[in-house]
Amino acid sequence: MRSLLLIFSILLANLSFSQATDNDSPDFLSERLYGYEDVDFVWKVEGKLQVFLNEGINYLKEGNLTTALANLNDFVKEDSSFWVARYYRGVTYKLLRKLKNAEADFTAVLKLNPNSYESMLELGKIYHFRNNTRRAEKWYNQAIQLSPHKALAYYMKGELELNQGNPRQAIKNYKISIERDPQFSDAKTKLALIEIIQKENFEAGLPYLNDILRKDSLNRIALLFRSSINYKKNPTASLKDLNTLVRIDPKNIEVLYWRGEILIGLEDFEAAFVDMRKVIQASREDENYFIGQQTRLDKRIDILNAGNYTTRTIFGFDEADSKKIKKGFCLLLTDKYDASIREFDLVKNVNKNALTLFLKAIANEHSGNHQEAFRLYNLALVFDNDIIDAHKKRGIYLSELQNWSASEKDFSEVLKINPEIHVIYKLRGVTRYHQNNFSGAVDDFSRFIDYLKRDSLELEQPLQSRIYKEVVGYRAMAYQKEERYLDAVYDFLVSDNMRAIDLNLMDKSITQLISEGDTTQAITYLDNYIQQASYFVDARICRIKILVLQKKWDKVESEIDEALKSGKSPYLHFVRGLVLKEKNNDAEAITFFTESIELAKKLHESSALPYLERGKLFAKLNKKKQASKDFESAEKLGSKEASRLLHELN
pLDDT tens per residue across span 300-353: 777 888 888 998 899 889 999 999 999 999 999 888 999 999 999 999 999 899
* Residue 292 reports pLDDT greater than 60: no
In the prediction, which pLDDT does 162 show? 86
Q: CA of 612: how far to CAs of 573, 581, 587, 646, in Å?
A: 14, 13, 15, 10
CB 20 within 8 A of CB 98: no
Which of 118, 117, 115, 49 lies closest to 82, judged by CA?
A: 49
> Which one is predicted more confidently, 92 or 200?
92
Record the pTM: 0.66
H/E segment holding residue 29:
strand 27-30
Q: How far apart are CA 163 and CA 141, in angstroms?
A: 17
User: Is residue 12 predicted with pLDDT exceeding 50?
Assistant: no
Q: Which range (167-176, 191-200, 243-252, 508-517) has the least confidence?
A: 191-200
Give the list of residues 6+ apart from residue 425 with CB closer than 8 angstroms, or none.
415, 444, 445, 447, 448, 451
Query: Which domains are delineated in the chain?
Result: 3-215 (1.25.40.10), 588-650 (no CATH)
Structure-model confidence comparison of residues 372 and 12, the more confident one: 372
Q: What is the average per-residue pLDDT within 140-165? A: 92
Residue 267: CB atoms within 10 Å: 9
pLDDT top residue among 231 and 608: 608
Task: Tell me the backbone φ, ψ of residue 17, rounded to 5 degrees.
Answer: -100, 125
pLDDT at 14 over 80: no
The answer to whether residue 19 scores a pLDDT higher than 50 is no
Contact between residue 157 and residue 120 where contact means Cβ atoms under 8 Å apart: no
Tally the residues of the chain.
Answer: 650
Residue 285, pLDDT above cutoff 60: no
Say how far residue 21 (Cα) sits from the centre of its chain.
16
Give the sign of the dihedral formed by CA 325, CA 330, CA 333, CA 337.
negative
